[in-house]
Amino acid sequence: MAPPSDRPTVLVVDDDTEIVALLQRYLAGNGFHVRTAGSGAGLREQIAGEAVDLVLLDLGLPDEDGLSVLRHLQTAWRGPVIVVTGRGDAVERVVGLELGADDYVTKPFDFRELLARIRSVLRRAARPEASAGDGQRIGFAGFSLNLSTRSLVDASGAALPLTSGEFDLLAALLEDAGKVVDRDRLMTRLHGRDAGPYDRSIDVGIARLRRKLGDDAASPTLIRSVRGVGYLFAADVRRL
């Protein structure tokens, strides 16, 4: 992923040339450098070339299933991704989040809302500069989360890869450790909006974090569910 800049680069991946042209004009007019690809193969070529800050990925590509492309991005690139789905494709949205997408939008979308989501994801993905030993590391249950490098290591020192969305969700839970945090609060902090009645992005993110932390979903000890309210991070947390 490219470091943040005054003019971030967004790669728009969609085979609908009309939508691509509209997005290119709109995003360029709002301070972004825009590159485009109309297929999975085109995306691979683009991310192997010049630096990209964010990928806007349509799941309906002509040569490859968009979810397959998302899997590739999570292993070969690891930058922030916003997926685009057809209206009502709840299953695709959930699977996309399970595969590590940072956010999603549905077609037809409002350009202003999309712009806000792109900016929100880029802000979360930005890496703050800080020196070691200034409280930028948080320890819990043998893990260490580094807020400066946005990295997580276990007790043995092995790195556990997190998507930018997973990192921000974990950091938010740690900040309110010992308190019950409702889904709307988490959604607002991560995405700048309340959770909709069918929005499962927070729940999906929690499930992914539990798997990566080895927290048994049937009887979690780190991230506990509080029925009808939200989640509680139950482990002791300390600044390092």
* pLDDT of amino acid 125: 74
* pLDDT of amino acid 195: 59
Handedness of CA 122, 194, 220, 92 (dihedral sign): negative
* pLDDT of amino acid 24: 95
SS3 105: strand
pLDDT along the chain (240 residues), means of 10: 67 94 96 94 88 92 88 83 76 75 87 91 66 70 90 90 86 92 84 64 89 92 91 91
Can you list the positions of beta strands (E) in 87-236? 103-107, 137-140, 143-146, 151-153, 180-182, 223-226, 230-233
* pLDDT of amino acid 223: 96
Domains of the chain: 9-125 (3.40.50.2300), 137-239 (1.10.10.10)
